[in-house]
Amino acid sequence: MADRNKTEEKVTFARELGTFDATMIGVGALIGAGIFVLTGMAAGEAGPASLLAFALNGVVTIFTALSYAELASAVPEAGGGYSFVKKAFPEPLAFTAGWMDWFARIVACSLYAMGFSAYFWEFINIYLHPLHQLVVGNLGPHLSLSLMTLLVGIFFISLNYRGASASSRVENIITMSKMFVLLIFVLFGLKEIFNFPAEAAANFKPFFPKGFGSVITAMGLTFIAFEGYDIITTVSEEIKDPEKNIPKAIFRALIMVIPLYLLILFVCLGSLRPEGMLSWQFLGKYKEIAIIKAAEEFIPYLGVALIGFGAILSTMSALNATLWASSRVSFAMARDRLLPEKLSSIHPKKRTPHISVVVSGTIFLFMAVFLPIEVVGSGASLMFLLTFSLVNLSVIALRRKRPDIKRGFKIPFYPVPPILGVFFCLFLAVFQYKIRPLTWYISLIWIFLGLLIYFAVFEKKTSEKKPQVLDADKKSRDKGKEAERKKFRILVPLHNPDHVTKLLDFAIPLAKKYNGEIVALAVVYVPFQLPIHEGLRFVHNKRPLLKSAVEYARSKNIKIESDIKVAHRVADGILSSVEEEKASLLLMGWKGFTNTKEKIFGEVADQVIRYAPCDLVVLKLTQYPVKKILFPSAGGPNAQLAALYASVLSREFESELVTCYVVPKRSKDEDRQKASECMDKTLGKKSFGFEVKRKMVESNSISDGLIREGKDYDLIIIGATKGGLFRSIFLGEIPEKVARHSPSSVMVVKKYEGAVKSWIKKFLG
């Protein structure tokens, strides 16, 4: 018992960080070495239009930032993007997202550590040349760079080991210092522009010296500089009042950084007056050291020192924030048993994921010292883009899958921002292939390696935590029974004893029509905290329900089997039985309302309707027996299947069948002709063996018209319609409204979409 309790225990962090701390983490990660290195490259690629590239990247990143803000306010867990994808998609995809995110951040740590070392020794070379000669002269360039990389890495590993509050205090100081340095740089540049406005204006003409295509290239090169705010979400469990503070921190970080980026590039382009070339050509010439050369031009004596010092602060700040985030991603994955469980340990006194910090730190130091980071690091930007795409999709999936989750922040104009976020992230990711094909090859190898490890090692471990289904009625599973099975099988889940015979009255004529058989199913629910086998003690409570079903079906001369499933989730029990029985049709009852907030049919029914791999009938029983049936005709495969079932049931119940079509009030003759043709097409050339009456129902609302007309009938049989892609609609808006609000019994029929479409729907949640 002690072991079981231990495995259910969830370890979490103390919440020590406020909005300011969280904002500084985001700002620190955003203003890394990227702005220093990429400014010259962007200007050389697109000229003055590099300003547009930076602005567009800012817009693109805001789309994804909105997704991060909503998800973090709803799921404030350590791990950031990994935690969001985990909630929205199947586990292999969540593992892939976390695996990519962890790797990208470790590589980024390596790049920042190496960048710090390069800037540090350059700074020492200029201002403390004897010390530079002493160290670099004796150790050599490579060894001296490696030594400084190790020292700064060990410093920040120990800092993160100590705790969030200690690390955040240092982060705040460094971030504010580098913001101050960059603002001084901008002020000097603006002063130069105001002193020589005509020359500054000339630097921006022509604005598109290399055409608009160069803007897209510059966007692809510089997008990595706009990644970093997402780090705030990876430390969600350490932020106070995360539902409010995380969205605030994300947007404040972007509001502070994006204008600063634009100002830095603007003053670099406008303030320089090099001889024989335009400012953008000058910046492009010096590439990664362009910003230092710019400072040298308009900040005399202190320019190199100022920017050199700023670059050192920026790489330190970004290294600290990124190491912090990478350790939280590995911690979250380990807590879910997707990485070695030791990584999920929290220090009893310091309340830090100390093992994750040390492991992430050790890996990034190894990469920085021994591996060609310029090759491995090329995949980091691509992996961030792919992860961002999954995060944007996660917003859409969770809006559909879990509308009941409380969200402290909701994306305005949903679903436009996440759709645009997916589009632009994938566009830039594909564009990366054009710039550096090797980036894609490295990333695909890393992803393949991760999935190999997942399926070989971690899938088995996580299966122990997954909701389980246990077959409690194995006696009907022997090979002899399997051989005797009929091809058409109807699965009928039973729960309410009062509805057993009524549900079977609908299933029996359909089984006879196709020379099939019925499987009566009962599910024993077991709370997730208990082992699945505990449910076997309650199986006997379901046997009377199944016994009455078997006796009734046999009295009607129809073959029937029974099945009992023990499950952590009732929906899983039903879906498991559908697959095992190879059911052709699932016929399930619905009480007509739901007690679960923002669910359509209820927690169980919603999952079954969404994922059932067979034809489906959802039946709300309010009036019985059935003497009059209304069949609304709308065309399509669902309506045709509903017409077939309507003919079978009306013959069985000896009831009157009326098909109808809703037309607008004061409709024109062509509308009525179209309605008549639609009814003909839906009914087809089948011979019903009895008269089917037709009726035009006038109403400007289809659902309201059917509800009003249906009051005079005992049963409405309606085919499912397609709902919007980003709405929580399973059977279509009209059938669901009719099923919910009609006082008559309602039967909604849905034809199986096929394996591919079903998989896509399940993938998108």
Of residues 339 and 346, the one with the higher pLDDT is 339
What pLDDT score does 115 carry? Answer: 74
Residues in the chain, how many? Answer: 765
Residue 726 pLDDT > 50: no
Q: How many of the other CB atoms lie within 10 Å of CB of 455?
A: 12
- How confident is residue 345, by pLDDT bands cut at 50, 70 and 90? confident
Residue 723 pLDDT > 60: no
Closest CA to 71 of 351, 328, 401: 401
Query: 103 — phi, psi (to 5°)?
Result: -60, -45
- How confident is residue 466, by pLDDT bands cut at 50, 70 and 90? low
Residue 484 pLDDT > 80: no
What pLDDT score does 221 carry? Answer: 73
What pLDDT score does 461 carry? Answer: 64
State percent of the chain over pLDDT 90: 15
What pLDDT score does 29 carry? Answer: 74
Lowest mean pLDDT: which of 120-124, 240-244, 470-474, 529-533? 470-474
What pLDDT score does 517 carry? Answer: 93
Residue 151 pLDDT > 50: yes
- How confident is residue 282, by pLDDT bands cut at 50, 70 and 90? confident
What pLDDT score does 763 carry? Answer: 42
pLDDT tens-digit map of 201-254: 888 888 888 888 888 878 877 777 787 787 787 766 667 777 788 888 889 989
What pLDDT score does 420 carry? Answer: 94
Residue 682 near residue 634 (C-beta atoms within 8 A): yes
- How confident is residue 719, by pLDDT bands cut at 50, 70 and 90? confident
Which two structure tokens, joined as six digits, stand for 445?
């190898």
- How confident is residue 491, by pLDDT bands cut at 50, 70 and 90? very high
Tell me how far apart the alpha carbons of residues 493 and 490 are, in angstroms, rounded to a whole number: 10
Average pLDDT for 94-114: 83
pLDDT tens-digit map of 323-335: 877 888 888 788 7
Residue 617 near residue 509 (C-beta atoms within 8 A): no
Q: How many of the other CB atoms lie within 10 Å of CB of 274?
A: 15
pLDDT tens-digit map of 161-213: 776 555 556 667 877 888 888 888 889 889 888 888 888 888 888 888 888 88
Residue 745 near residue 714 (C-beta atoms within 8 A): yes
What pLDDT score does 756 carry? Answer: 44
Residue 724 pLDDT > 50: no
Residue 479 pLDDT > 50: no
Residue 303 pLDDT > 60: yes
End-to-end CA distance of the chain: 35
Average pLDDT for 94-119: 82
Of residues 511 and 214, the one with the higher pLDDT is 511
What pLDDT score does 8 carry? Answer: 39
pLDDT tens-digit map of 572-612: 889 888 988 889 999 998 886 655 544 555 677 777 887 88
User: What SS3 class is residue 714?
Assistant: coil
Global pTM? Answer: 0.63
Question: Domains in the chain and their CATH numbers?
Answer: 16-460 (1.20.1740.10), 467-590+601-614 (3.40.50.620), 622-765 (3.40.50.620)
User: Hey, what amino acid is at 728?
Assistant: S
What pLDDT score does 688 carry? Answer: 61
What pLDDT score does 531 carry? Answer: 64
